[in-house]
Structure 1
Amino acid sequence: MSTPTDDGHDLRHHGDAEVRDAGADLTDLAVNVRTRTPPAWLTARITASLSTLAAYPDGRAARRAVAARHGRPTEEVLLTAGAAEAFVLLARALAARRPTVVHPQFTEPEAALRDAGHRVHRVVLREEDGFRLDPAAVPREADLVVVGNPTNPTSVLHPAADLAALARPGRVLVVDEAFMDAVPGESGSLAGRRDLPGLVVLRSLTKTWGLAGLRIGYVLAAPEVIAALSRAQPLWPVSTPALAAAEACCEPAALAEAERAALTIARDRAHLLDRLAALARVHVVTPAAGPFLLLRLDRADGVRERLRDLGFAVRRADTFPGLGPRWLRTAVRDRETSDRFAEALEKALAG
């Protein structure tokens, strides 16, 4: 389902649309899920949970695991069917008078707010500023603010202090940290902060662990916010296999594996940046912190189609408010894949 805005942005276009029904064997650089996931040990844990499917899901153990992972009490944790469900719950459960979304970023928050009948205000970050957020750009009267960190699709990691400066009594500050576990050391995360008024942190387990089809994420917030969101959820919103995955991914060995993966992504991103720097007609938004890069180039739509002919799917970025027809997003992959992509992109540009 599309949600076009007055300025023509399709808020419901996502990377999976670039490869769905493609009719060709494409190297997928449009979706930001880490390759070769889920790992075998995680698949085994999920599979083992299938023997209990006759019982209704019981999320208590998974909730305790998430709470312990972030040093919070369990009443400050809500498990959701991916971060996308959390945006719907926030839009429906919170009575915001002036909801404000910082763009360019993941478009589902604005789509969910619009679907719930809210009139959404935008703060659009500028390329000239490196798509970095100045807290002063957010109106004081904004009582619900949504911002991504690191931000999809710009790959910008906003300093934690800048985001913390947005928190104030009477305002709900929603920080989407869906890609934070791909940042070494999770630098910039607010997930452990309990002192900031109105702070809501969203996390997803689908990107690092390859669980997009399972749908599992969670919300970290004050108990009264968690209670309000919980009342807006249907009964048993998270399946037993997804609960098993959430518990497993919060264990120390899993956290250590995620940190190693984040370091690998950082090295692979540096390699891709070096390859793209050799292409004079391509500008990349830097510094980048996520497992993806935002590229500006002339006639991006035509280049995207030529890349498909050369076997690569990348994500169109003109559907993000604040961006236009000169932008593409590409996922960070291993070095061999990045080398092949850089060669294909050079050919596509020449075309």
Structure 2
Amino acid sequence: MLVGTLTELQRGSLWGVFAEAFLVGLYSCLLIVTLWAPITTGRPLTVIGWIIIAIYCLTICRFVLEVCALFRTLLVNGGEVVGLESVDYVIQAMKQAFTFVAATLADSLFCWRLYMIWSQNTRIILFPAVLLIIHTIICIVIVVIGLLLTPQPRHTQYLTSLLPPLNVGELCTIFLYTFYTTALIAGRLWWVGREVNKFTSPEEAKKNRYVGAIAALVQSGVIYLTMVILLLIAVLTMNDTMMVVLNPISAIINGISSTLLVLQLNMFQEYTVQRNMDGPPLTTGASIKFAKPGTSSEIPGEWAPTHSPVATGRQASRPTTASRQ
């Protein structure tokens, strides 16, 4: 097929794969940078390190299937080849399976971040945990239906009719989950960052606000939330071209967002503060400066940053020294 004879959906798929290939290159570089310190220093990878590697591998597998599906569509003029009709259904189901598993792992990282940033408060993650379970169940049903959709199965029309509401439900649950975690993480970073700045100089507070904004942008997952909103709009408006373009990109963006989260937590200082009041300590996770091991700075008052429990596994106390990782 010539490019000029491509349908609108095929052109959308082509541009989506081009954009995905570009993002895969950026994603690969980002993963190398994130894992560079553990690899060069000989430190063993943590569970989170293995999770971001698993997300990357699943995303790459999905990208390979996306390219295979695109070439099959272009080379066989719409995929109408006798004896190979079921290949499209299998490829689509495998793409969905890789996407859903990678998305679940990435979302679990943000749920963990929410748990740590709110001082390991279990109640704060009950709602997103329920949403994540519902989302996983819906995704499993979608993949199973995709595997059952061979060219001439029984109940094909019935199974196909189930996919649109399931897709909308899947996007709605992930939207609620992402919006909830994004709002709570960003709000927590902003609030505690404001309190910490009360005990710093105006110049230092100004710098902290800029870096805190970057921390909120990266750690809250607002980039992926934007992509989910665009996908939800595309599904609700039944814009097939927009969905074809955004679907492959959203899978990469989800992986990039989770890797950026881990990268920033490794490179930047995190503050854990405890207010002089009853109740659990308040974990900010706000990144203020590049980490300089062995250095410290004095912060007066009732707020006192310590090492983040993300890195140390300890609860915050009330020392007078802000230790930097």
Taking structure 1 as the reference length, the TM-score comes to 0.23
Q: Which has the higher helix share?
A: 2
Structure possessing the higher relative contact order (Cα contacts under 8 Å, 6 or more residues apart): 1
Q: Which has the higher strand share?
A: 1
Point out the structure with max Rg over C-alpha. Answer: 2
Taking structure 2 as the reference length, the TM-score comes to 0.24
